[in-house]
Amino acid sequence: MGSRTPTALQDPPPAAGKRPRATVNSVAPDPAAASFAALTRKLDYLDAADLKRVRDAYRFADEAHLGQLRASGEPYITHPIAVAGLCADWKLDVQAIMAALMHDAMEDCGVTKVELIERFGAPTAELVDGLTKLDKLQFSTREESQAESFRKMLLAMARDVRVILIKLADRLHNMRTMDAVLPNKRMRVAGDTLDIYAPIAHRLGLNQTYRELQELSFQHLRPWRHAALSKAVQKARGYRRDIVERIQRDVEKAFTQAKVTVQVSGREKTLFSIYNKMREKRLTFAQVNDIFGFRIVVSTLPECYMAMGVLHQLFKPIPGRFKDYIAIPKANGYQSLHTTLVSPLGTAVEFQIRTEPMNAVAEKGIAAHWMYKAFDSGPAHAQEAQRLSAMWMQSLIDIQDETRDASEFLEHVKIDLFPDAVYVFTPKSKILALPRGATPVDFAYAIHSDVGDHCVAAKVNGEPVALRTVLGSGDVVEVVTAPNARPNPAWLNFVRTGRARSKIRHYLKNMEQEESEDLGEKMLGQALRAEGLQLPGTPSPAGGPGRPGPGTEKDSADAAIWQALARWSGNRSRAELLIDIGLGRKIATIVAKRLARLLAERGTKPDPLTLTMGRYGSDDNVPSQGLVVIDGSEGATVQMAPCCRPIPGDEIVGYLGRGEGLVVHTSECSVGKRLFERDSERWMSVEWAEQPTRSFETGINLLLHNGKGVLAKVAAAVSAAEADITHIDMGSEPAAESTELRLLLSVRDRLQLASVIRQLKRSSAVMRVARVKP
């Protein structure tokens, strides 16, 4: 390319009144597509009865949209007809064509689902309902409304893939006709298309639709860059026409001599893929030398490999640039041989070799299932694409089961819409496709959620590796599990699949809720004992007033009290109320006083023994919400404050943070004292259990003589006291004669910490050692 070829693709600031118009010459809408007569010509694969049903649907849609205009000024009905025409190109069935004609009737015209069921049957009505956005008035923000509508559409698609095919046709026609739309809406629609709809088209193997949606989105989002690249490619076509024609002649001649019948066609990279390559690899346009490639279509599968042999004899292959997607298809069912060869002029040229059915699946993906229904069973390739797409859609349902938040669900789906995959093997040689960048944790969840939940280690190709290790194609992965293991929140920082992410979040949320409910029940029970009462449904110590009576009468009375208490607190259930208490959103003493009043109205009187137990051992200096015993098994709802890091043996108090659960501080902690002065009612009495179930972390500061082997001496002293070092911080100061070191230690209690400090003081390398205090 000459020096004047655009190389830095930056959008200059548009001059006043000037902006390149977003037009794609190759996809200019055909005026004939707006007429119903043109649509019926495309529907020649339907019988007369089905055509009559399509006409009825057209008349219904025409009446519903009567008087409505598109932004371009055309009658609105031209849009549904064009969408139905695109569905007819995929040979979709009569129900899908009818739904395409009426896809906006419920959303824009007030037509009800019941009316559609009565007129056109339940299957068609379900398709239209799946395509209808949720009412925006139900949501506080546009983002929330959009996320919920996406979720509704994707779950409808999981039940019936025709929903997404109609939606993709709808989006494609909208993208082709966006010139009349306001710029801010154009940018928003193009962004959604690039983020959601184009990846879905690729995931379902609709590569032709995928490429066009990408190209149109790029054109509307980056008009200046699109225009610059378009001019550069047009010039390159002229420069390289002779090269392309010469290669094509040589290839056709070689296949004629080998007596293999093939169809040879040239193909050109899309502007969006050229732009992406330039951006990712920091290339100028002149450095992108694979703008043109060739596709070889043969008759049978064995001829694919014969054709590859012919090409490798004609031009030299580039090592490491051969991919066999026939033996191992892509996740969307795509099958082809890819090989990159060195042309006579020394440039790299990619060839794709496939059969006719493979070519149909490569371009139409899951839609090939309908295109081939005319055959008895359809080609195996089309059925495989259907099976793989069904697997992905089932994964959407799995993600939905564990994700109640629409925005989170959409985030998981976006992660799952991966364009590239790596292929790894189980120890039993089963192949799994995972997104590029996947880790052993993603692999574990792809096998089964139980394997992922209990994963503790992994081996890749027989060698132990970290769980965050990135897997490569051909790796044999083995997961090591333990029955008591559970997901680590840190896994969310490196997992790549939506399935793994949703499963981990679901497990952690459930665990947090269970632990919060247990803690809330314990806190409310302790607070109620200070009133001389037991929680409804809990036996009292001496068979007193709290003891449940025989039969179900007492149970129903207790349930009524819990219901009344939940209504008073604004919660939907007893469990939700207890979770709120455990997370610090509700104060246990206030709830306990209300519960005591409800019990008094029922005639329950305070029990003297319970009252004594509730008051015994309370700390007069801390407003009591009841005593909570800490043994280390509480999980995420009880946290040791990172400022003072309390350990068994320390005097402790608990701070009930809003939505954070219980945070335990030492009684001497300066941070805790400041919190107490500001918010005293949220403090409660806590104490250590006699036998804690685990070790706890605390920090120590060391001043050391700097020299060889210092760290080894420190580690040996800690080990001699049978403690563990969990973290070392040496700061960023340059080396000197003495250096400061901060250790985070895991110890059982204060006695073991004292033993560690004694061992360290005996070391010649240690000048000073002290526990970290805020």
Q: What angle do CA 551, 553, 555 make, to 5 degrees?
A: 90
Residue 227 and residue 20 in contact, taking contact as beta carbons nearer than 8 Å: yes
- Of the candidates 631, 673, 688, 679, the one whose C-alpha atom is nearest the C-alpha of residue 657 is 679
For 273, list phi and psi in degrees, rounded to 5: -70, -35
Is beta strand 652-657 parallel, antiparallel or unpaired with respect to 628-630?
A: unpaired
DSSP letters spanning 288-333 = ---SEEEEEEESSHHHHHHHHHHHHHHSEEPTT--EETTTS--TT-
Residue 323 and residue 338 in contact, taking contact as beta carbons nearer than 8 Å: yes
Q: Strands, E, within 343-484: which ranges?
A: 348-355, 421-425, 431-435, 455-460, 463-465, 477-481
Strand-pairing partners, residue 747, are 696
- Of the candidates 163, 229, 171, the one whose C-alpha atom is nearest the C-alpha of residue 195 is 171
Name the residues annotated as catalytic: 107-108
Q: How far is CA 416 from CA 200, 487, 498, 537, in A?
A: 10, 20, 5, 46
Which residues make Cβ contacts (< 8 Å) with residue 444, sequence separation at least 6? 451, 452, 455, 458, 479, 481, 500
For 418, list phi and psi in degrees, rounded to 5: -80, 140
The 3 state secondary structure assigned to 484-521 is CCCCCHHHHHCCCCHHHHHHHHHHHHHHHHHHHHHHHH
Angle between helices 78-89 and 94-101 (to 10 degrees): 160
In the numeric block, which tokens belong to residue 541? 């110590």
DSSP label of 469: P
Identify the residue whose tokens are 């033993």. 755
DSSP letters spanning 139-169 = -SSHHHHHHHHHHHHHHHHHH-THHHHHHHH
Q: What angle do CA 307, 310, 313 make, to 5 degrees?
A: 150
Determine the Cα–Cα distance for residues 296 and 254; give it in Å rounded to an integer: 13
In the numeric block, which tokens belong to residue 286? 């002149």
Determine the Cα–Cα distance for residues 459 and 480; give it in Å rounded to an integer: 8
Determine the Cα–Cα distance for residues 605 and 588; give it in Å rounded to an integer: 20
Determine the Cα–Cα distance for residues 444 and 422; give it in Å rounded to an integer: 15
Residue 167 and residue 387 in contact, taking contact as beta carbons nearer than 8 Å: no
- Centre a 10 Å sphere on the Cβ of residue 549 and count the other Cβ atoms it contains: 9
DSSP letters spanning 90-103 = TT--HHHHHHHHTT
Residue 269 and residue 329 in contact, taking contact as beta carbons nearer than 8 Å: no
Q: What's the N-to-C CA distance of the chain in angstroms?
A: 66
- Of the candidates 708, 701, 702, the one whose C-alpha atom is nearest the C-alpha of residue 767 is 702
Residues belonging to the chain: 774
DSSP element (H, E) containing 462: none
Q: What angle do CA 449, 452, 453 make, to 5 degrees?
A: 85
Determine the Cα–Cα distance for residues 144 and 402; give it in Å rounded to an integer: 18
Residue 172 and residue 212 in contact, taking contact as beta carbons nearer than 8 Å: yes
In the numeric block, which tokens belong to residue 654? 């608990």
